[in-house]
């Protein structure tokens, strides 16, 4: 048997052909990682001091410039802790852990405008639940209610256009009867409640106006309500 030498170039060509064969299997790829690295834990929100919360509550109250039309340009006559509603003020069970309540009062005795702006801060309270409770309890409580020589009666629910940013709102009007010598007199108080929820407080603002004429009281409180809402949202 005679052995024949195959040229080296032909061997190389045959090897290249085999490596380019369409049936050749692709090289295996490394498997993808089975789990991602854990996300970093966000830092805890710092706990605010009571003083910081009180400052925020105070910032939500109207200021002198907001009330000029109804105060005759006079500054607030009183700065004090206030009840949220004034006379026949119902407790609001939906608000728990009340922190602080702050109010400002303006008086124009010549035209008999009395304006009160109040903000209360509570640890917890769902805005919709707060307003639903007030809407239910206030009309029933303020019926022939006697306060400081005056008889207070719920007059009506007040329609208030939507206030920018607030989570819930409610408006109402009361009628006051009081004696002036031997003659009974009447005046009207109209108010608007608005609620805002922040991280660690539920803020409830109330602006209310008393006037002899019911139309004056309604017009004034509807004018002041958007300003009160803006103060509350900026607090």
pTM of the model: 0.78
Residue range 125-131: mean pLDDT, rounded: 97
Q: What is the pLDDT of residue 23?
A: 46
- Looking at residue 17, what is its pLDDT? 44
77-107 pLDDT per residue, tens: 877 777 788 778 888 999 999 989 999 999 9
Segments making up each domain of the chain, as ranges = 50-234
> Given a cut of 60, is residue 13 above it in pLDDT?
no
**CATH classification code of 50-234:** 3.40.1000
* pLDDT of 135 higher than 90: yes
* E strand segments, the chain: 78-80, 96-108, 113-124, 145-147, 150-158, 168-180, 183-197, 202-211
Cα separation, 224 vs 6, whole angstroms: 105
Q: Rounded distance, CA 173 to CA 219, Å? A: 12
Q: Give the pLDDT of residue 9.
A: 44
Cα-trace Rg, the chain: 36
The predicted pLDDT at position 46 comes to: 64
Q: Encoding tokens for residue 15?
A: 């090897």
- Determine the Cα angle at 125 with ends 122 and 130, to 5°: 110
Rounded CA separation 233/230 (Å): 5
- Residue carrying structure tokens 């405008």: 113
Percent of the chain with pLDDT over 70: 80
Residue 25 has pLDDT above 50, yes or no: no
How many other CB atoms are there within 10 angstroms of residue 181's CB atom? 6
pLDDT band, residue 4 (cuts 50/70/90): very low
pLDDT tens digits, residue range 33-71?
444 455 555 454 568 888 999 999 999 999 999 999 999
Chain-wide mean pLDDT for the chain? 83
Beta bridge partners of 193: 170, 206
Residues 114-125 have pLDDT tens digits of 999 999 999 999
Q: Please report the pLDDT score of residue 50 as a whole number.
A: 87
């Amino acid at each position: 048997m005679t052995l024949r030498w195959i040229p080296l170039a032909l061997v190389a060509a045959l090897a290249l052909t085999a490596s380019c064969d369409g049936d050749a299997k692709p090289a295996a790829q490394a498997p993808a990682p089975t789990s991602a690295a854990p996300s970093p834990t966000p830092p805890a929100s710092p706990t605010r001091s009571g003083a910081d919360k009180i400052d925020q509550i105070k910032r939500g109250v109207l200021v002198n410039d907001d009330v000029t039309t109804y105060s005759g340009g006079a500054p607030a006559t009183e700065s004090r802790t206030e009840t949220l509603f004034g006379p026949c003020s119902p407790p609001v069970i939906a608000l728990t852990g009340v922190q602080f309540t702050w109010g400002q009062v303006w008086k124009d005795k010549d035209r008999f405008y009395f304006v009160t702006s109040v903000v209360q801060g509570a640890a917890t309270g769902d805005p919709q639940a707060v307003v639903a409770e007030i809407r239910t309890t206030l009309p029933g409580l303020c019926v022939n209610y006697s306060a400081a020589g005056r008889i207070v009666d719920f007059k009506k629910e007040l329609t208030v256009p939507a206030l920018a940013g607030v989570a819930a709102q409610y408006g109402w009007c009361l009628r006051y009867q009081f004696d002036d010598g031997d003659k009974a007199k009447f005046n009207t108080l109209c108010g608007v409640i608005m609620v805002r929820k922040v991280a660690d407080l539920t803020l409830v603002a109330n602006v209310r106006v008393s006037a002899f004429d019911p139309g004056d009281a309604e017009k004034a409180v509807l004018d002041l309500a958007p300003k009160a809402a803006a103060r509350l949202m900026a607090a």
